[in-house]
Amino acid sequence: MIDKSIDAVALTQELVRFNTINPPGNEQQCAEYLGSILETRGFEVSFHAFGPRRTSLVARIGGNESHPPLCFTGHIDTVPLGYKDWTVDPFAAEIVDDKMFGRGTSDMKSGVAAFVAAVTDIAPTLAKGSGVVLIITAGEETGCEGAVHLAGLENVLGAAGAIVVAEPTSNYPMVGHKGALWMKAYTDGVTAHGSMPELGVNAVYKAARAVSKLEYFDFNVPRHEVMGGATLNVGTVQGGININSVPDHAEIGIDVRTVPGQKNTDVGAHLSAYMGEEVTMEAVVDVEGVWTSPADAWVQEVFGLMETVLGEPITIRAASYFSDASALKPAYGGVPTIILGPGEASMAHQTDEYCFVSRIEQAVGIYRTLAENWSTQ
């Protein structure tokens, strides 16, 4: 076993230098690199791929039947760079003053690096107590694919008593997030020459009627106390191939964000019935919302720690994005879950993405304290 502490800032830089843009992902090398670090520090590591080079890992140390381990989780895939040119190399992880630039610095390789550094630093203590389980996933950005895959495997996740999701929150604790139901709506028609539209059936006209109808869709559910109401946005509309033909197919991309208490399957069924027979609906991403009562004893313990760290009272907040907690929280029986990570949510998916170096260092201390407190209970 290696005694030397891991520098979380340097580890973040190493992780950013792995190109894990999803699609295609190619997380295997990054996962294996992290796995080797953890194995040399006494962790039991297993790798699980849901496709070629789409590798997630599960690592654990310590644990007992009476008090299951604390779970830390994060993903190592990133979104594409976008069309706009970056002013820095997106894979160099260059540090300027307190900012580290690069794709995945905030979302969310800094979070993964911070909890890996934190728990390896106290591995001997964790090995003797309740311990921790680390779930580092592939494919989160495209619908929590890696986490869903792990949750469907037998005897892989084991048990956990609580979850820390290291997604970007500027190290502010959050107790939930909305769910996401991304749908494709299809309309079909009959093609004809553009000079004789009466001989065809225009699928784009059908799509236009559908889009107008979607603007007035009512979820008929109360607003959530923290997250507000469920939302629907039409993000894309595509139809036709050439300008001088009646289009016989059109497609609408719909982004629904649900609140805890709603079931995505029910929302999808409601939406399909509302759209009627002209429209065919298909779900392409389906992740449920997450919520933990702020009154939970462990959550209150986390809030107490963070009030000391941040120097301010903690207010009840939820994240605006979805996370792997949508798959992992139910897989672990609905255990209390906190979203807390060093990245800046406002920088996620942005050109010239960055994370504050000082927040990475701060997160290491937070995660170390959470793991120590949990493991020695």
Q: Mean pLDDT, to the nearest integer, of 144-155?
A: 97
Question: Residue 354: beta bridge partners?
Answer: 101
Angle between the N-to-C axes of helices 8-16 and 28-39, in degrees from 0 to 180, rounded to the nearest 10: 150
The predicted-structure confidence for 256-293, as pLDDT tens digits, reads as follows 999 999 999 999 999 999 999 999 999 999 999 999 99
Rounded-to-integer distance, Cα 133 and Cα 137, Å:
13
> Domains of the chain by range and CATH?
8-177+289-375 (3.40.630.10), 185-287 (3.30.70.360)
Rounded-to-integer distance, Cα 76 and Cα 331, Å:
20
pTM check: above 0.85: yes
Residues in the chain: 377
At residue 288, the pLDDT reads: 96
At residue 66, the pLDDT reads: 87
Interstrand relation of 162-165 and 70-75 (parallel, antiparallel or unpaired): parallel
Rounded-to-integer distance, Cα 149 and Cα 47, Å:
12
CB atoms under 10 Å from CB of 129, counted, come to: 20
High-pLDDT (> 90) share of the chain, % = 97
The predicted-structure confidence for 297-308, as pLDDT tens digits, reads as follows 999 999 999 999
Contact, 140 vs 283, CB < 8 A?
no
At residue 169, the pLDDT reads: 98
* Residue indicated by tokens 């310590």: 62
At residue 3, the pLDDT reads: 65
CB atoms under 10 Å from CB of 24, counted, come to: 13
Rounded-to-integer distance, Cα 340 and Cα 354, Å:
17
Q: Mean pLDDT, to the nearest integer, of 139-149?
A: 97
What sign does the CA torsion over 305, 308, 309, 315 have? positive
At residue 2, the pLDDT reads: 63
Structure-token pair, residue 251: 């497609």
Structure-token pair, residue 199: 């001989």
Q: Measuring CA to CA, how many Å separate 247 from each of 138, 201, 208, 210, 367?
A: 38, 8, 13, 16, 55
Contact partners, residue 121, CB within 8 Å, separation at least 6:
5, 6, 364, 368
The predicted-structure confidence for 185-220, as pLDDT tens digits, reads as follows 999 999 999 999 999 999 999 999 999 999 999 999
At residue 1, the pLDDT reads: 59
Contact partners, residue 36, CB within 8 Å, separation at least 6:
none
Which residue in 74, 78, 49 sits closest to 136, CA to CA? 74
Q: Mean pLDDT, to the nearest integer, of 31-44?
A: 98
